Structure 1
Amino acid sequence: MPPESAPPPVRSSFAIDVPDALLARARAGEAGAFEQLYRWFERPVFTLALRLCGDREEAAEVLQETMLKVFAKLGEFRGGCPFWGWLRQIAVNEALMRLRSRRKWEDDTALEDHALADEHLPPPTAAADAAALARALMQLPEATRSVLWLYHAEGYTHEEIAALMARTPSFSKSQLARGGRRLRALLESTAEKAHA
């Protein structure tokens, strides 16, 4: 039996190379540079917030708060990581803070050890219609949806997700396994209805 290989790295929608000159202009307070950064990152921030929060109005608020914080803290960015990674971290923190403030986090317990084997299964097939996938994601509990999105779409590890959500890595693994099964079932049900 061949050894299990790690899943391919995920390329985040945030992975936009920002020229140092643009950052310097933004740090200097140039409105045009801020506007360009906003335009480049508006869609990835909104999409991430929508997937985590499940609500367009809340996603718009997360976008606004994220960009305000980015602009206010731009002088603190020292370049130890890509600018997009720093901005993405602010967006994730804003979205998760909004979820925590709603106090709707579920108290799911960890799955049995055998269920964690599902973690290495690929996400639902690429043939799934994007709209059906978005609808199915919105039917999942917030914590489960957040873990699925952060892991599969943004490339966070279980340890990083656990730190972001103030949980354990096993919580992230169990949510990924459970969420993957629920998502597949929802997509299969949608496909069966479409073919009926």
Structure 2
Amino acid sequence: MSRSQFAIDVPDSLVARARSGCREAFEQIYRRFERPVFTLALRICGDREEAGDVLQDTMLKLFNHLPDYRADCPFWGWLRQIAVNEALLRLRRQRRLVSEITVDEDDLPEDRGLPPWAAADAALLQRALDGLPSATRSVLWLYHAEGYTHDEIAALMHRTPSFSKSQLSRGTRRLRALLQIEEPIHA
């Protein structure tokens, strides 16, 4: 399992108290992870209402499966995996993945690497991401922000690594077009 750049530490004692049934400890965990789970779900689903549903489903699973947590991996990594699975499950249920993965290749400029993330205004970038098909947006987010490999993304999305690579390439080209980013001239 890859490690997110947004790792969040949680004291082992807090997890132990929540596992033993302490309601206040679970509420503290909820408050600590509510925003990161919602943000992750929003980036994958592209819709605030869907992200709220994913947050709710993730926290219910957390509550029901907290006794199953093994401390041999970081807590946020374990919870993040639940959130990613819930978000992708929601997308699969809506059949968005199948209907939105086709992109007209003639409309896309040639891919020459990663988009210059730091150069784009955050609001403009969010609008551009929202304009992408959910499968493409999910792959972009999982790869660039969460640090998943193509093999891991393929496994999560029940696809092949080639699917992940092609969605990343298409998404990068489409983002560049949506953000109207010109390619640098190589001397």
Instruction: Name the counterpart of 2:118.
Output: 126
Q: How much does 1:109 deviate?
A: 6.9
Alpha-carbon distance in 2 for matches of 1:17, 1:118: 37
Residues 144 and 101 (structure 1 numbering): CA distance in 2 closer, same or farther, change over 3 Å? same
Normalised by the length of structure 1, the TM-score is 0.83
| Residues 10/164 of structure 1: CA separation in 2 closer, same or farther (3 Å cut) | closer
CA distance in 2, matches of 1:11, 1:163: 17
The residue identity in structure 1 corresponding to 2:42 is L
Tell me the residue number matched to 1:167: 159
1:12 matched to 2:28? The reply is no
Change (3 A) 1:91 1:11: closer
The one of 48, 53, 69 aligned to 2:40: 48
Instruction: Specify the code of the residue in structure 2 equivalent to 1:97.
Output: L
1:131–1:156: structure 2 CA closer, same or farther, 3 Å change rule? same
Choose the corresponding residue for 1:177, options 163, 169, 186. Answer: 169
Question: Matches of 1:94 and 1:45 in 2, distance apart?
Answer: 10
* 1:73 equivalent in structure 2: 65
Q: 1:103 to 1:109 in 2, by over 3 A?
A: closer
Query: Does 2:109 align with 1:99?
Result: no
1:105 aligned counterpart, secondary structure:
helix
Q: Render the CA deviation track for 1:18-45: whole Å, top value 9, x for unaligned.
A: 1110111111111111111111111111
Q: Which amino acid aligns with 2:122?
A: A
CA 1:171–1:99 in structure 2 vs 1: closer, same or farther (change >3 Å)? Answer: same
Instruction: Give the superposition deviation at 1:188.
Output: 1.4
**CA distance, structure 1, for counterparts of residue 26 and residue 52 of structure 2:** 18
Q: 1: distance between equivalents of 2:10 and 2:132?
A: 34
The match for 2:138 among 146, 151, 155 is 146
Equivalent of residue 86 in structure 1, options 61, 78, 84? 78
Contact conserved, 1:106 with 1:141, CA < 8 A, in 2?
no
The CA deviation at 1:60 is 0.3
- TM superposition shift of 1:155: 0.5
Superposed CA RMSD: 2.5
Match for 1:137 among 126, 129, 135? 129
Specify every segment of 5 or more residues in structure 1 that has no aligned partner in the other structure, as ranges.
Answer: 1-8, 192-196
Gaps of 5+ in 2: 183-187
The count of residues paired between Structure 1 and Structure 2 equals: 177
Could you say if the C-alpha distance between residues 10 and 178 of structure 1 is closer, same or farther in structure 2, counting changes exceeding 3 Å?
farther
CA offset at residue 123 of structure 1?
A: 3.4
Q: Which runs of 4+ in 1 moved over 6 A?
A: none
**CA drift at 1:122:** 2.8
1:32 to 2:45 alignment: no
Per the alignment, residue 3 of structure 1 pairs with none
